[in-house]
Amino acid sequence: MCFVIICFLICWIVGAIAVASNPSPFFGALGLVMVAGVGCGVLVEYGSPFLALILFLIYLGGMLVVFAYSAALAAEPYPESWLNPAVVSYVSCYAAVVVWVSSKFWSEWSDAFSGPADEWGPFCVFRADSGGVAVMYSEGGWMLVVGAGVLLLTLFVVLELTRGLSRGTLRAV
C-alpha cells in the first residue's frame, strides 16, 4: 500500500508542476484533473472512498466549470505547448525546487505513510470516511465557510483576469 501511495503522491507533484508551469489554460486543465483524481486516489487508499467521491464530484461540478468558462474566454489561436522552451524551463525549475525541499525533509517523512484510517478493524465503531464526513460538517463547519469564500474569490479573480479591454465578461468572442 505504501508503494501505491508514493506513486500517487509523485503523480500529484507532477500534476501540480504541470498546472504551475504552463501558462496556457488548455494544457493546465489536464494537470488540474490529474491532481484532483490522484488526490482522491490517495484518499481512497487511506480508507475514505466516500469522501474521495464527494470531493471529486464537487471539484468537477464547481471548479472545472469555472475553469472551462475562463478558458473559453481566454482562447488563444496558438497556445504554448509542453515543448516550448519557456515551459520546459519552468518545469525544470519547479522540479529542482521539489527535489531540494524533499531532500531537506526526507528524514521526517519516513513514517508519514502509516496505513489506512480504519486499520484498527474490530475496534472501530464506524468507518473512517462516514465519520470524517460527520466531523467535517460538525467541527469543521468554519472551514467549509472559508472554502466557499476562497472559491468565490477564485471566481472573481478568474473573471477579472479574463475580462479583456474593460468590456466585461459578456463580450463577443
25-28, Cβ contacts within 8 angstroms, sequence gap of 24 or more: 25/67, 25/70, 25/71, 25/74, 26/71, 26/76, 26/79, 27/79, 27/80, 27/81, 27/82, 28/67
Question: What is the rounded CA–CA span in Å between residue 15 and residue 34?
Answer: 6
Asked if 47 and 145 touch (Cβ cutoff 8 Å), the reply is no
**Residue found by looking up cell 460527520 in the block:** 134
Band (pLDDT 50/70/90 cuts) for residue 109 is: low
Per residue in 31-54, pLDDT (tens digit) is 788 888 898 898 888 777 877 888
Question: What is the rounded CA–CA span in Å between residue 40 and residue 46?
Answer: 10
Which domains are delineated in the chain?
2-75+84-106+126-161 (1.20.120)
DSSP annotation of 105: S
Closest CA to 59 of 68, 72, 70: 68
Q: What's the full length of the chain, in residues? A: 173
Top pLDDT among 6 and 160 is at: 6
Q: In this predicted structure, which of 29-38, 104-113, 119-128 has the lowest mean pLDDT?
A: 119-128
Per residue in 122-166, pLDDT (tens digit) is 555 556 566 666 776 778 778 878 888 988 898 888 777 766 665
Quick one: pLDDT at residue 95? 92
Question: What is the rounded CA–CA span in Å between residue 150 and residue 74?
Answer: 22
Q: Look at residue 75 and tell me whether its pLDDT is greater than 90.
A: no
Q: Look at residue 117 and tell me whether its pLDDT is greater than 70.
A: no
